[in-house]
């Protein structure tokens, strides 16, 4: 059990880390990051998720009968290597097994030829059966199993493609769900309408993972809550299952045509639909259902986009969920600028010039459904994803541009600022991709058992937008900043922390909020600031670092805790404490000592735990660039404050 009071029980202040040690670490990390810079000025690190992604990619080739034996062997080795001690596969490093992820991994390994008698397969099978078997999987896993004929299609919630025919004012119009849900669901509606059947050339099945034969299972609902919305939607689901086969064929074809048009308009070249793996896979399957041959321009493009996510290294082959070059570049530019060195500044300028070329100025994305007439001006997360810029990336880019050269980049900054202000929701907060995306009832439909159908305003994204506005000179006396601060005030937890939607978890959210409050001129003596700082101090680990894992997203689990300290979360905590005026606190010195001791041979940092989030409790991420960049940011700021 970690000593939460390690920083507050010190009786004698330890010696500060030497200025030379900090300076050397800053210089070494700066040099290492510059070595990682691409020739055109940008940075991109690997982005890793759980084994569900490589498992689905392996199984996709069995659906299409396009098996690449060498690729399959590499993916299977990666999946085997991520098996947990409990026999299953977790959503994040060191976590407990997840039933859906484990079923996909087992299925993929069996498809790749692993023997049922192999020890790792036996352990996995026992773990899955002990937790209720494959019938207890989530909706997206059940859709995959239905495609392979492992379960009946009635096991999947009804989602008629005719949804595409609904008017914009309909409660179930696709504009009411998030960008990621939209791009995943629209092609999937076509796949479900065709009741796609995998070619499955090796005839693989996983009957041994079911306690009760699937055809005898009557209740497939993941959410058996007796709440009003859940009960209503279960009844509606039953009715839709009954009437869907009787819906007019002309309406169905119109809906399919609309879905196909939606996808092809957003196909996004070799960056793929939505530039995220699940949407890209469903686009490939949609074109397959429509009878398009693999060499059809759209089908071929969709396949190439998926191949672009594959990492092939000696002894390590896997598939990324997406690519993160804009986010990585913006973070690293900010970290380098914090150092103040001319060489770092020159590298950041090259990164900024690369970013400028990727500002989205001429595409009216899906965000315009809620903000018609608002001029575009944001950045997307990936290389190209013009329909889906996001406020978080945009704010991080603008802060780098402003610090680097506000005059030179004045027009891009202005366009981005106006877009950000226009995307503020009525409650004062910001979501990542859409405004007013808060239709909570939709998370109760049977199809949304993951609870991540929406993109509501969150503390971390709001904090980044407030921080950007404050950096541009728009302090607490300006309307957008004041409304954002009010949102943050409402969102602070009773223990003083803030929830982290996109980073793990309360350490990330609290750092983000403290940076925003400090930038906006909120006094360090303010109650909200002091409570947040005390929360961070109380969660420092005995080794001087901070670490929090994905289990904190489940109700009742400890906040701010994890099995080990991590470099990225230690950096966030240090940045938060320094923003709260605690730069001279002994805990900050101890955190810096932890970072100094945790460097690798390259002068950077690495970490095994996942410290980011796709969807809380469902999908977690490991940004390989986080551990490499945020510690430099923190150490450079520490050095500047001490100087």
How far the first Cα of the chain sits from its last, in Å, is 36
Helix (H, G, I), strand (E, B) or coil at 296: coil
Residues in a beta bridge with 316? 313
| Length of the chain (residues) | 643
Helix (H) or strand (E) holding 622: strand 619-623
DSSP output for 127-171: HHHHTT-GGG--HHHHHHHHHTTSS-GGGSPP--GGGGGS-TTST
Residues in a beta bridge with 5? 540
Q: Check: CB of residue 513 under 8 Å from CB of residue 463.
A: yes
* Closest to 468 in 3D by CA, of 527, 392, 529, 410: 392
Helix (H) or strand (E) holding 613: strand 612-615
Residue of 237, 271, 328, 392 with catalytic role: 392
DSSP 8-state assignment for residue 222: S
Beta-carbon count within 10 A of 18 CB: 10
Note if 392 is an active site residue. yes
Beta-carbon count within 10 A of 541 CB: 26
How far apart are the C-alpha atoms of 80 and 82, rounded to whole Å? 5
How far apart are the C-alpha atoms of 509 and 498, rounded to whole Å? 5
Beta-carbon count within 10 A of 340 CB: 13
Give the E-state strand segments of 360-470 in sequence order: none
HSE, CB side, 13 Å, CA atoms: give it for residue 467.
27
Beta-carbon count within 10 A of 199 CB: 13
How far apart are the C-alpha atoms of 66 and 202, rounded to whole Å? 12
Whole-angstrom CA distances from 39 to 34, 35, 42, 310 are: 10, 10, 8, 21
How far apart are the C-alpha atoms of 424 and 434, rounded to whole Å? 9
Q: Check: CB of residue 277 under 8 Å from CB of residue 321.
A: yes
How far apart are the C-alpha atoms of 226 and 51, rounded to whole Å? 33
How far apart are the C-alpha atoms of 89 and 125, rounded to whole Å? 11
The structure tokens 């947040």 sit at: 532
Catalytically annotated residues: 392
């Amino acid at each position: 059990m970690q000593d939460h009071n390690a920083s507050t029980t010190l009786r004698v202040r330890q010696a500060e880390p030497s200025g030379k040690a900090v300076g050397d670490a800053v210089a070494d990390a700066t040099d290492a990051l510059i070595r990682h810079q691409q020739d055109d000025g940008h940075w991109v690190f690997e982005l890793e998720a759980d084994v569900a992604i490589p498992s689905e990619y392996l199984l996709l080739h069995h659906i299409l009968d396009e098996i690449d034996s060498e690729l399959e062997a590499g993916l299977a080795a990666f999946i085997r290597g991520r098996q947990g001690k409990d026999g299953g596969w977790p959503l994040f490093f060191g976590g407990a097994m997840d039933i859906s992820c484990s079923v996909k991994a087992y299925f993929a390994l069996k498809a790749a030829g692993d023997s049922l008698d192999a020890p790792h397969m036996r352990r996995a099978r026992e773990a899955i059966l002990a937790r209720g078997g494959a019938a207890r999987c989530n909706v997206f896993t059940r859709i995959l199993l239905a495609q392979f004929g492992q379960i009946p299609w009635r096991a999947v919630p009804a989602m008629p493609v005719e949804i595409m025919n609904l008017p914009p004012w309909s409660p179930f119009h696709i504009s009411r769900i998030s960008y990621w849900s939209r791009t995943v669901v629209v092609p999937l509606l076509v796949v479900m309408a065709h009741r796609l059947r995998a070619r499955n050339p090796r005839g693989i099945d996983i009957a041994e993972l079911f306690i009760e034969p699937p055809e005898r299972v009557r209740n497939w609902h993941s959410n058996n809550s007796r709440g009003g919305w859940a009960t209503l939607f279960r009844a509606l689901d039953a009715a839709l299952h009954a009437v869907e086969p009787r819906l007019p064929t002309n309406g169905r074809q119109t809906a399919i045509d609309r879905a196909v048009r939606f996808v092809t308009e957003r196909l996004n070249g070799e960056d793929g639909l939505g530039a995220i793996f699940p949407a890209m896979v469903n686009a490939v399957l949609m074109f397959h259902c429509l009878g398009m041959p693999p060499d059809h321009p759209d089908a071929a493009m969709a396949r190439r986009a998926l191949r672009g996510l594959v990492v092939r290294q000696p002894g390590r082959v896997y598939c990324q969920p997406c690519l993160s070059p804009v986010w990585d570049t913006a973070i690293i530019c900010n970290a380098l600028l914090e150092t103040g060195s001319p060489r770092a500044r020159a590298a950041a300028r090259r990164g900024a010039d690369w970013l400028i070329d990727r500002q989205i100025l001429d595409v009216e994305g899906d965000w315009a459904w809620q903000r018609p007439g608002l001029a575009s001006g944001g950045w997307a997360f990936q290389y190209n994803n013009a329909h889906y810029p996001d406020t978080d990336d945009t704010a991080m880019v603008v802060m780098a541009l402003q610090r680097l050269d506000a005059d030179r980049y004045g027009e891009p900054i202005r366009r981005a600022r106006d877009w950000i202000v226009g995307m503020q929701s009525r409650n004062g907060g910001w979501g990542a991709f859409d405004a007013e995306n808060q239709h909570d009832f939709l998370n109760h439909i049977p199809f949304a058992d993951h609870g991540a159908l929406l993109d509501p305003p969150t503390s971390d994204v709001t904090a980044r937008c407030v921080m950007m506005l404050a950096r541009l000179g728009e302090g607490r006396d300006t309307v957008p900043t004041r409304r954002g601060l009010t949102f943050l005030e409402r969102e602070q937890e009773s223990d003083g922390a803030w929830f982290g939607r996109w980073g793990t978890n309360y350490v990330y959210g609290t750092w983000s909020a403290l940076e925003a409050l400090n930038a906006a001129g909120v006094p360090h003596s303010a109650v909200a600031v002091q409570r947040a700082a005390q929360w961070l101090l109380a969660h420092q680990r005995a080794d001087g670092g901070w670490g929090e894992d994905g289990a904190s997203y489940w109700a009742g689990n400890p906040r701010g805790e994890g099995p080990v300290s991590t470099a990225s979360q230690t950096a966030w905590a240090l940045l938060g404490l320094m923003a709260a005026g605690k730069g001279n606190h002994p805990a900050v010195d101890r955190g810096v000592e932890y970072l100094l001791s945790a460097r690798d041979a390259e002068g950077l940092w690495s970490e095994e735990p996942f410290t980011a989030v796709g969807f809380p409790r469902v999908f977690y991420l490991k940004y390989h660039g986080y551990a490499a960049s945020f510690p430099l940011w923190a150490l450079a700021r520490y050095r500047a404050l001490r100087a």
